[in-house]
Chains A and B, each alone.
Chain A
Amino acid sequence: MEHYTMNLTLKVWRQKNKKTAGKLESYKVENISSEMSFLEMFDVLNEQLIIEGKEPIAFDHDCREGICGMCSMYINGQAHGPWQQNTTCQLHMRAFKDGDTIVVEPWRSAAFPVVKDLVVDRSSFDRIIQAGGYISVNTGNAVDANAIPIDKKNADDAFMAAACIGCGACVATCKNGSAMLFVGAKVSQLALLPQGGPERESRVLNMVAQMDVEGFGNCTNTYACEAECPKGISVANIARLNSEYLKAGLSTEEN
């Protein structure tokens, strides 16, 4: 693809801290290379702001390889921008044209409060994991890799679910702010494997309970989450979560 440069207008959400109200502010950036990533374009803008003596824009980022789940940003009305199965750091500026206006907002969810500008607090996801997203393990020497036979399809499905990087795009995209795709993936990756067996019931019950405590919305099966997930996590995982939850809810003897 041919290289080109572009001048852009950015409308970015600026918010000082959790308590103050934020607003969209306009910025101009010039000579942006089509081969830059979206975050590199933000680096250029921040350099510019620093030179002008203004506060740079706070945004989350870490690996910049599309595998850590740290970057967020709601770009032009879509989580992680216009490309499918893609994170913001892997969105490249060739997705835009010279003269474009790009609106950038943080994830909007009661369970993801804005910390500053485009940075949101996603520790609600950590608390859901803490409620049951783990397995009990044997101590001692590492077990031989193939000691426990696992069906190929289950191994594949578990692996696909485990691809979730916990970025929160599903919540950000869902019109109900529901975290069902995230929780579905985290329950599925263990429910499909024998290692997940011992805590199977308590895991799904506790994780769903924590999800509700955090204030996430309910799933109404619009499947917007699947369409926007950078890792292409399937809504079949939500069905598995529902079925695990129903079964555990019926068979549990605890209140």
Chain B
Amino acid sequence: MGITGLFLILFLIVHAGINACIFLNDNGKTFNDVAHFMSHNWIMRFLEIGLFSGLILHIIQGLKLWSQNNKARPIEYHYNQPSKNSKWYSRSMGILGTLLLLFLIIHLSNFYVGTKVALYSGDQYHNLFEEMKEDFSNYWIVLIYVIGVSALYWHLYHGFQSAFQTFGINHKRYTPILKFIGITYATVICILFALMPISMFFKWIV
């Protein structure tokens, strides 16, 4: 769980970095060039297989945990107060993950499928930037993205530091630093991602 999680965390840095090119406000030229490079490059296409394997493995591990943990308590408490001893997001990783998966399906059908169709139909210059602008002019798509990114925020907020505990790292000096890095990472990445649909919806980027 921790290894695949950190792997996916690394991917998000690349993803957010590339997408942040839209903020250059050059009518999407830089962004489209980078997107073109990413989709027309065998190294990237090869790494993509690794990315999907990591994602699927992360989901399988999560499902396995969910099923084993359900069996560990066949009869629930009639009265329980979990909020007295733990944070809601730490207890909700499964639900947050499911939300993220639903969001990913919508997200991939919005952009990934279009990119791949363009690639194999021989469209030399697929204008992904225009596609984004079109999709993000819909307020409900923007809303779905903001909800998806919020789920991602809390998933990362718990997940980042949790991974290190799983690897056996719990240190008086380093753990607070790791927690700080995790929270900063989750905040920066999620603000960047949320700003993309929002700024396109309000036409801050044209």
Could you say which residues of chain B place their CB within 8 Å of the CB of A246?
167-168
- Asked whether A178 and B90 contact (CB < 8 A) given A227-B85, A238-B165, A240-B168, the answer is no
Q: Which of B80, B85, B87, B91 has the most CB of A within 10 A?
A: B85
- Bound-state CA distance A1–B74 (Å) is 42
A243 to B65, CA, bound (A): 20
A185 interfacial by beta-carbon distance below 8 Å: no
Partner of A222, one of B79, B90, B170: B90
Choose among A110, A176, A224, A243 the residue that contacts B85 (Cβ–Cβ < 8 A).
A224
Per the 8 Å Cβ criterion, residues 94-115 of A in contact with B are 103, 105, 108-111
The count of chain A contact residues (Cβ–Cβ below 8 Å) is 41
Question: Is B167's CB under 8 angstroms from A243's CB?
Answer: yes
| Interface 1/0 per residue, A163-179 and B, CB below 8 Å | 00000000001011110
Tell me the complex Cα distance, A176–B162, Å.
Answer: 15
Please report which residues of chain B, range 128-187, place their CB below 8 angstroms from some CB of chain A when the two chains form the complex. 158, 161-162, 165-170
B-contacting residues, A71-113, CB 8 Å? 74, 76-78, 82, 103, 105, 108-111
A242 at the interface (CB under 8 A from B): yes
User: In the bound complex, what is the Cα–Cα distance between A194 and B182 (angstroms)?
Assistant: 35
Mask: chain A, 215-255; 1 = CB below 8 Å from B; 0 = not: 11111111110011000000110111111111000000000
A50 within 8 A of B: no
With A and B bound together, what is the CA distance between A193 and B169 in angstroms? Answer: 19
Q: Distance in Å from the Cβ of A244 to the closest Cβ of chain B?
A: 7
- Whether B122 sits at the interface, judged by CB under 8 Å, is no
Q: Is A155 interfacial (CB 8 A cutoff)?
A: no
Q: A244-B168, A246-B167 are in contact. Are A178 and B72 (CB under 8 A)?
A: yes
Residues of A within 8 A of B72 (CB): 109-111, 176-178, 215-217
Residues of A within 8 A of B86 (CB): 175, 222-224, 227
- The minimal Cβ–Cβ distance linking A212 to chain B, given in whole angstroms, is 9
* Residues of B close to A235: CB separation below 8 A: 165, 170
Residues of A within 8 A of B69 (CB): 175-178, 217-218, 220
Known: A178-B72, A223-B86. A105 touches B166 (CB 8 A): no
CB distance from B15 to the nearest CB of A (A): 25
In terms of DSSP, what is the predominant structure of the interface of chain A?
Answer: mixed
Give, as a whole number of angstroms, the nearest-CB distance from B165 to chain A.
5
Structural contact, B91 and A222, CB atoms closer than 8 A: yes
Q: Does A24 contact B (CB under 8 A)?
A: yes
Q: Which of B97-125 contact A (CB under 8 A)?
A: none
**Interface residue from A105, A176, A217, A241 paired with B77 (Cβ < 8 Å):** A105
Using an 8 Å CB-CB cutoff, how does the interface string of B66-83 with A read, 1 for contact, 0 for none? 001101111111111110
Q: Which of A13, A217, A221, A223 contacts B68 (CB 8 A)?
A: A217
| Shortest distance from the beta carbon of A144 to any chain B beta carbon, whole Å | 32
Instruction: List chain B residues, Cβ under 8 A from A74.
Output: 77, 80
Q: How many angstroms from the CA of A218 to the CA of B68 in the assembled complex?
A: 7
- What chain B residues lie within 8 Å of A176 (beta carbons)? 65, 69, 72-73
Smallest CB–CB gap between A100 and chain B, Å? 13
Nearest CB of A to B163, in Å: 9
Which residues of the partner chain B approach A227 to less than 8 Å between Cβ atoms?
84-86
Least Cβ–Cβ distance between B67 and chain A, in angstroms: 10
Q: Which residues of A contact B162 (CB under 8 A)?
A: 220-221
Residues on A lying within 8 angstroms of B by beta carbon are 13, 24, 74, 76-78, 82, 103, 105, 108-111, 173, 175-178, 215-224, 227-228, 235-236, 238-246
Q: Can you add 6 more A-B contacts, CB < 8 Å, to A77-B82, A176-B65, A218-B68?
A: A77-B77, A82-B84, A177-B72, A222-B86, A227-B84, A239-B169
What are the nearest 4 A-B pairs in CB distance? A243-B168, A217-B72, A239-B170, A77-B81
A selection of 20 A-B contacts at a CB cut-off of 8 Å is A77-B82, A105-B77, A110-B74, A175-B73, A175-B86, A216-B72, A222-B91, A223-B90, A224-B85, A224-B91, A239-B168, A239-B169, A239-B170, A240-B170, A241-B168, A242-B165, A242-B168, A243-B167, A243-B168, A246-B168
